[in-house]
Amino acid sequence: MASPPSKLFLLFLLSLLSPLSLSYSDRFESWCKQYGKTYATDEEKLARFRVFEQNAAYVEAHNSAADSGYTLALNAFADLTPHEFRSTRTGLTGLKNCGSSSNGNGRVFTGFGAGFRVPDSVDWRKQGAVTKVKDQGSCGACWSFSATGAMEGINQIVTGTLISLSEQELIDCDKSYNMGCNGGLMDYAYKWVIKNKGIDSEDDYPYKAADGNCLSNKVNRRVVTIDGYTDILPNREDLLLQAVATQPVSVGICGSDYAFQLYSSGIFNGPCSTSLDHAVLIVGYGSQNGQDYWIIKNSWGTSWGMSGYMYMARNGNSSKGVCGINMMASYPTKTSPNPPPSPGPGPTKCSILTYCPAGSTCCCTWRVLGLCLSWSCCGLESAVCCKDTTYCCPQDYPVCDTTRKQCLKGNGNTTSVKGIDRENSFVKAGWWNDILAM
C-alpha cells in the first residue's frame, strides 16, 4: 500500500493552485525532465521549486525589459540561488589584490610594439586551437580548465596538434599553491607544469570532478610542455587584445552574479562586480552591430550560454572591463617541441615472482604470518582490496559491502557501484633475472 504524502508536500501542491505558480510548476516539471533533475525528498523539491520560481521571474523581467543586448534562460542552474551557485561553480582564489595579475615570477607583457597590427576579429576555434567545452561540475577548479585551455591553444599553434589536457592532474598533483576543488590560480598551474616538465592528456588522466590522490605513474606521462608564462599588465585592454590576437588567454572574472549564472545569448555587459572569483578562457574577439565583444569559453558544460560560450562586451567605460576581465590575464609560452611518447607502463609488481597487468592493484588472497603467498589483481589503479578476496572497489568508492558485493561512497552513504571481480596474477617472463639482481 502506498504511503500517504507528507504534510509539506500537500502544502506544496496547494501552493501551486494560484495561476502564476501553476504556470511555473508546469515549467519546473518540464525543466526537471530536460536536465534530469531529481530530489531526495518532497521538502527538497519544494525548496528547489521556490528557487526556480524566483529565477524564472528574474529571467522574464530581464528579457521583457528594454533591449540589454543579451538574454537570460532557465538553464541547468535554475534551481540554485546565487550563493549556492557561487559556492560550487567558481573557484578562483588566492587574490589579495585583484588589481595585480602577477605572482612575481611570470614575465610581464607590455605589448608587441608600434608595428604590430591587431586583426579586426579573431576566433581561435576556427583555427583548430580550442578543444570542446568541458564541465567542471560541482568542483571549484575553474582555474585548471582555464589553464589547460590556454596550454591546449598554444600547443596547437606551435605543433599543429590539438590535445585535450588533464585538469584532474592539476587538481590532484599541483598542491604547492593551488587547492584542487577549493580553488586556485592559473599562473601557479603553469608554474607546476614547467616544474613537472609537462602535463598528461585528459584521455589518460580523466576528469572526476573531485579531489584525488596524485597518480605518480601518470604524472610522468608528459604529452605537452610549456616553456614559461606571461602576465598582462592589469587594466590594459589594449594589451589584452594584442595577446588574444596571437593565442587564447586565461583571465579572471566575476562569474557569480545573477545574470551571469542564467546567461543564454547575446553580448553580455553586466551587471556584475569586479570581485574576481571565476576563471575562463578568451578564445577570440569580434564586433556585432557596432558592439565589440570577447569570445569567452567557460567550463560549465554546453547547456550554459551559447553552447558553453559567452560574448562579453569590450571597449567599455571601465578600464577593469566587464566583470573585471581586464584585471588578471596571463598565458603560457612555448617554442620547444613536446617530448617523445612515453613508453607504455610495465606490469605492476606484487612480489618477487608475481605481477599484475599495468594499471592494476595487487590484492593479497592468502597470507601466512604476515607474508602474502598468493596474489590476485584488481583492474584499477589505487583500488581497495575487499576482505572476501574475490572483488575490489574503486578508490572513490572505498567502502566494501561484502554482503551485497557493492562499493559504497562512504560509511553511512548509500551511493554505490558494483564491486569489480579480481583476476589472476601471473609470473613475468625473465623472473630469474629479478632474483639474480637481488
**Cβ contacts of residue 224 below 8 Å, gap of 6+?**
151, 152, 155, 163, 165, 198, 199, 201, 338
Active site residue 62: no
Question: SS3 for 269?
Answer: coil
CB neighbour class for 422 (10 Å; exposed up to 12, middle 13-18, buried from 19): buried
Active site residue 377: no
In the block, residue with C-alpha cell 553580455: 268
**Cβ contacts of residue 334 below 8 Å, gap of 6+?**
154, 155, 158, 225, 226, 227
Active site residue 83: no
> Which of 269, 298, 350, 385 is labelled catalytic?
298
Cα distances from 257 to residues 47, 171, 262, 306, in angstroms, run 21, 25, 9, 18
SS3 content of the chain, % helix, strand, coil (to 5): 30, 25, 50
And the C-alpha cell for 309? 560560450
Strands 228-232, 107-109: pairing is parallel
Q: Considering only CA atoms, which of 334, 365, 368, 362 is closest in space to residue 348?
A: 362
Round to whole Å and give the CA distance between 58 and 61: 5
User: Tell me, what amino acid is at 315?
Assistant: N
Cα distances from 121 to residues 62, 118, 154, in angstroms, run 29, 8, 18
> Which of 139, 142, 323, 385 is labelled catalytic?
142
And the C-alpha cell for 404? 551485497
**Cβ contacts of residue 336 below 8 Å, gap of 6+?**
225, 227
> Which of 278, 377, 386, 407 is labelled catalytic?
278
Instruction: Write out the catalytic residue numbers.
Output: 142, 278, 298
